[in-house]
Amino acid sequence: MQNKPADIKVAVDAVVFGYSKHDGVSVLLIQRKYEPFKNGWAIPGGFVLENESLEDAVRRELLEETGIEVNYLEQLYTFGDPDRDPRQRVIAIAYFGLVKASQFQVLKASTDAENAKWFSIKKLPALAFDHKKILNTAIERLRNKVQYQPIGFELLDKKFPFSDLEKLYIALLDKDINRRNFSKKILSFGFLEETGELSKTEGKGRPGKMFRFNPARYKELLKEGFHFEI
């Protein structure tokens, strides 16, 4: 007896991480309006439409279910366990992005999303489908990537004290760092420059030097064979 070709649907999911120096790392979730997992929390996403690219589909779903647009989404992984969706066989292509959470505080849930909300990655609700597995995969990719590519700089203000950069990496890596070694290594790369300004401090702390990331210099270094590694 021959096996019948599978009737497979294709879906996309968007794992969007947010960061703030006060709240750390969070992830954007939606509350499902319909079954399966009605009222449960899930990663934004849905089925790919006819004649729609994967990239267009993930951006459309993110906009429809949360009301936000993200400039950069990177393909993460394909999830295709036969029983991952109780309705039918569904293969999901997951994407992930990293944004300043403060820029996306106004969320507008629509279509099959009842609500949209930021959750700390340390205080997550139960997730629908296999979305816990997807989220854990995205967290692992994020923590690996920030160690070999300076993707975190776009989460800081254009001018920032070095302590903000340290807080960012501590939050993203979820572990403490040797501040002296970290500072020495980052400054040795040559793409971080002093602005000549001092930070405004609260209380008795000494004002620190302000820095800015120079993306043009970073690109030059890449052409020269430079490798970023923390």
Q: What is the pLDDT of residue 37?
A: 96
Domain with CATH 3.90.79.10 in the chain: 9-145
In 3-state terms, what secondary structure has residue 152?
A: helix
Sequence-distant (6+) residues with CB within 8 A of 69 are 59, 62, 63
Contact 77, 137 (CB under 8 A): yes
The stretches in the chain having pLDDT less than 50 are none
Q: What is the pLDDT of residue 204?
A: 59
Nearest of 182, 183, 207, 204 to residue 196 by alpha carbon: 207
Q: What is the pLDDT of residue 199?
A: 85
Contact 37, 45 (CB under 8 A): no
Domain with CATH 1.10.10.10 in the chain: 151-223
Q: What is the pLDDT of residue 149?
A: 87
Tokens linked to 169: 């990496």
Sequence-distant (6+) residues with CB within 8 A of 202 are none
Contact 107, 116 (CB under 8 A): yes
Q: Give the rounded distance of the alpha carbon of 44 from its chain centre.
A: 13
Tokens linked to 81: 């366990």
Q: What is the pLDDT of residue 4?
A: 74
CATH topology of domain 151-223: Arc Repressor Mutant, subunit A (1.10.10)
Question: Selecting from 3.10.580.10, 3.90.79.10, 3.30.200.100, 3.40.640.10, what CATH number does the domain 9-145 have?
Answer: 3.90.79.10
Q: What is the pLDDT of residue 153?
A: 87
In 3-state terms, what secondary structure has residue 196?
A: strand
* CA dist., res. 169 & res. 215, Å (int): 18
Q: 26-42, pLDDT tens digit by residue?
A: 999 999 999 999 999 99
Q: What is the pLDDT of residue 221?
A: 87
Q: What is the pTM of this model?
A: 0.90
Tokens linked to 172: 């993203």
Beta bridge partners of 140: none
